Structure 1
Amino acid sequence: MKLSCSNTYTARRSLLSLAAAALALSAGAASAQTKTLYIGMNGGVMEKTWTEHVFPAFEKANNVKVVVVPGTSSDILAKAQANKDKPQMHVMFLDDGVMVRAIGMGLCEKMKPSPALNEVFPTARFKGDMATGVTMGMTGLAYNKKMFSEKGWAPPTSWMDMADPKFKGKVVFQSLSSSTFGLHGFLMFNRIKGGNDKNVEPGFAAWKSSIGPNVLEYIPSSAKLSEMLQTGEAAIAPLTPTAVATLQEKGIAVEYAQPKEGSVVLMVAECVIANNSEPALAQKLAEHLLSAEAQAAGLQHGNQIPSNPKAPAVGDDAKARLKQFGDYMKTAVVVDWDAINENRPAWNARWNRSIER
């Protein structure tokens, strides 16, 4: 029996409707399978580098979206602690000292064994593999190259240069309570004055008659520093070679100086957050971020010094940065984070009360 034109049209229309419905269901199912992982980390250059050059490969391979929750290490730790029973993030990046605190609070779960974990520097692996360094660095001194040149000043060579009277009102120092850079600078000053990581009395006693009078402003993070260097407000400040290289790429006349007393080793570490909603995917992301491929992209696009020595350096600039990093590490010192974290709340309160008041 032949179908009429009208019946044929109706049949075709029905088939097209069924096909469209099937496609819609398929697209909906695919969309439903796309999961989201939230990672806490510093905003700015780090967020831009990882979002644009590191996460996409992982997202494509795993049908997942990685979303950054930006903030300082202290901010991220506070968020993780506040949501400990029902984590809102899956992975977090913290400065090494803050990461030790996070582990002590039970916020991290043990990282699963992987080839990438075995490749990183042994010093980047935290006790029990509860966290792992992703980027390596150190805190030394940054100085305003334009100002130094105009004034005829020699580049700084010591932490104590910040106490030189010629820098009165030109030193910018990060707050002890919110910045690892500021903490490192204070601890090195304290050592020079005869203290150690368990005894900071010499540092507090000498600050007001030494570096203190030269400080223009205590800032919560280094974000404002680039502006202060550009306007000529800042002459010198504690900072890392990575941060200095990033400022240089923006056209800011700034240089890094390695103090003769040594810089302070600073890692940005990652941990998988305990009890998160996607434990397997979170572990997979953490493993990817330790891979040579991911860390090579971090070095190439964000001046991030890799913790994985197998990460290839692309271009002469990257190779030069890695060589320079190795030279700086020869005199870099490691602080006692267990002692520091035990006493830091009291130090922060004292600093805020007697230094920044």
Structure 2
Amino acid sequence: MNTYAKCLAVISTSLVAGLANANAQDTMYVAGFGGSVETAFVEKIIPPFEAATGIKVVYVAGNSTDTVAKLEAQKDRPELSVAIVDDGPMNTAIRSGLCAKLEDGSNSGAVYPNARVDGDLAIGLGYGATGLVYNTEVFERNGWPAPTSWKDLEDAKYAGKLIIPPISNGFGLLTAIMQARLNGGSESDIDPGFEAMKRIKPSVLAFEPNPGKIAELLQTGEAALGVWNNARTAILAAQGAPVKFVYPKEGAMVILSQVCVVNNAPQPKQAQAFIQHLLSPEIQAVFTEATGLGPVNPNTKLSPEVEAKVVFGEEKVSSLQSVDYSVINPVRAEWTDRWNREIER
């Protein structure tokens, strides 16, 4: 049985009963990421749901910030029923009252504990890991052992060879927080993180936000070591670049793609059912293959090749370090201004 047929079978038994009275003309709008994610939704994730329920689903592509802005603009009369965004922006959406409580379901009940959100106002959809990336050829040429720790960023031998995104970028933000934690601080006490970044700064080739430029610098070896995401590293490696991702011994930092039912959604029951569909093992596998984000449902089956590239299994999932965006988001603009004055001046 192919993936489409499996998905249809799962939906037919678990969702149709709850949507038996749905009008075949109903249309539900789902906001999420663009690119390969949009393609996967349009071609593989949405069709079996539509076939089983008679509901038309329209996918609205955009980045997380734009999606939350749409939710804010439509707060009084929402057009969207489901929103998929990263964890930081999702925290903003929740604090602004834009998400409704997720109802209990067999698939949502199966996810890893650290994929759940307090109050059940959202739930994880896929794990990304922020850690270290290095050019294997440069390391071999210099006789350097593979990096193992976030503290390796302070090693003077990498002078002029580090690539780190700025704090305005999610990867840079998590780097600053991890450096704070390593030096006695936290997101509630970021000063040690800034002091550590001042020590690291002289070795940095560029505080680069553009993923294409980061990929270029890593591929050419101009940058030997940096901070990046496991999924982006896997894509670059698949293109033949001599790069490898490292889960630091202190733990990689998680970026958790999340999904919520929009508060006062025009299609609330269908939205609840669609999220259960997204969290099913079959659709989790499709989502993982399209995004490189590890599945939150431990019952998901992946090929050995895909497993090796993503956050997969209890050991990797439990090792991920999370952050408190309810502390970060109110002061993030202040941190960015400080970064511009003290780190990138």
TM over 0.5, shorter chain: yes
Q: Aligned in 2, Cα 1:110/1:300: closer, same or farther, shift over 3 Å?
A: same
- 1:12 equivalent in structure 2: none
CA deviation digits over 1:196-251, x for unaligned, max 9? 2211112223422x221222333335354223323333322222323322322233
Q: How many residues are paired up?
A: 321
Matching of residues 145-294 of structure 1 within 5 Å = 145-177=136-168, 179-208=169-198, 210-220=199-209, 222-294=211-283
CA deviation digits over 1:275-312, x for unaligned, max 9? 33333333332221111111022234443311111222
- 1:107 equivalent in structure 2: 98
1:139 has 2:127 as partner:
no
Q: Aligned in 2, Cα 1:88/1:40: closer, same or farther, shift over 3 Å?
A: farther
1:64 has 2:56 as partner:
yes
Which deviates more from structure 2 when the two are superposed, residues 131-140 or residues 46-55? 46-55
Contact 2:293–2:310 (Cα < 8 Å) also in 1: no
Q: Aligned in 2, Cα 1:54/1:228: closer, same or farther, shift over 3 Å?
A: farther
CA deviation digits over 1:296-348, x for unaligned, max 9? 222344433111112222x2223445786544345433333332234323222
Which deviates more from structure 2 when the two are superposed, residues 152-161 or residues 274-283? 274-283
- 1:33 equivalent in structure 2: 25
Identity of aligned residues (%): 39
- 1:350 equivalent in structure 2: 338
- 1:335 equivalent in structure 2: 323
Question: Residue 51 of structure 1: CA displacement?
Answer: 3.8
CA deviation digits over 1:66-88, x for unaligned, max 9? 324221x3343333334333445
One-letter amino acid matched to 1:131: A
Whole-angstrom CA distance in 2 between matches of 1:136 and 1:154 = 28
Whole-angstrom CA distance in 1 between matches of 2:210 and 2:80 = 22
- 2:6 equivalent in structure 1: none
One-letter amino acid matched to 1:198: S
Whole-angstrom CA distance in 1 between matches of 2:119 and 2:45 = 26
Whole-angstrom CA distance in 2 between matches of 1:274 and 1:301 = 28
Question: Residue 63 of structure 1: CA displacement?
Answer: 4.3
Secondary structure of 2:323's match? coil
Residue ranges of structure 1 left out of the alignment (5+ in a row): 1-31
One-letter amino acid matched to 1:202: P
Secondary structure of 1:33's match? coil
Whole-angstrom CA distance in 1 between matches of 2:109 and 2:229 = 27
Q: Which ranges of 4 or more aligned residues in structure 1 deviate by more than 6 Å?
A: none
- 2:85 equivalent in structure 1: 94
Contact 2:28–2:267 (Cα < 8 Å) also in 1: no
Instruction: Give the RMSD, CA atoms, in angstroms.
Output: 2.7
Whole-angstrom CA distance in 2 between matches of 1:161 and 1:279 = 48
One-letter amino acid matched to 1:162: L
Q: Aligned in 2, Cα 1:248/1:270: closer, same or farther, shift over 3 Å?
A: same
Question: Residue 130 of structure 1: CA displacement?
Answer: 0.5
Secondary structure of 1:211's match? helix
Which deviates more from structure 2 when the two are superposed, residues 179-188 or residues 221-230? 221-230
Which deviates more from structure 2 when the two are superposed, residues 278-287 or residues 216-225? 216-225
Secondary structure of 1:148's match? helix
1:124 has 2:112 as partner:
no
Contact 1:59–1:66 (Cα < 8 Å) also in 2: no
Whole-angstrom CA distance in 2 between matches of 1:56 and 1:240 = 30
Which deviates more from structure 2 when the two are superposed, residues 136-145 or residues 243-252? 243-252
- 1:27 equivalent in structure 2: none
Q: Aligned in 2, Cα 1:88/1:247: closer, same or farther, shift over 3 Å?
A: farther
Question: Residue 34 of structure 1: CA displacement?
Answer: 6.6
Whole-angstrom CA distance in 2 between matches of 1:38 and 1:224 = 31
One-letter amino acid matched to 2:103: K
Secondary structure of 2:333's match? helix
Whole-angstrom CA distance in 1 between matches of 2:49 and 2:290 = 17
Whole-angstrom CA distance in 2 between matches of 1:330 and 1:284 = 28
Secondary structure of 1:147's match? helix
Given the two structures, how large is their TM-score scaled by the length of structure 1?
0.79
Q: Aligned in 2, Cα 1:247/1:322: closer, same or farther, shift over 3 Å?
A: closer
Given the two structures, how large is their TM-score scaled by the length of structure 2?
0.82
Q: Aligned in 2, Cα 1:343/1:109: closer, same or farther, shift over 3 Å?
A: same
Question: Residue 36 of structure 1: CA displacement?
Answer: 5.1
Whole-angstrom CA distance in 1 between matches of 2:339 and 2:222 = 23
Q: Aligned in 2, Cα 1:122/1:251: closer, same or farther, shift over 3 Å?
A: same
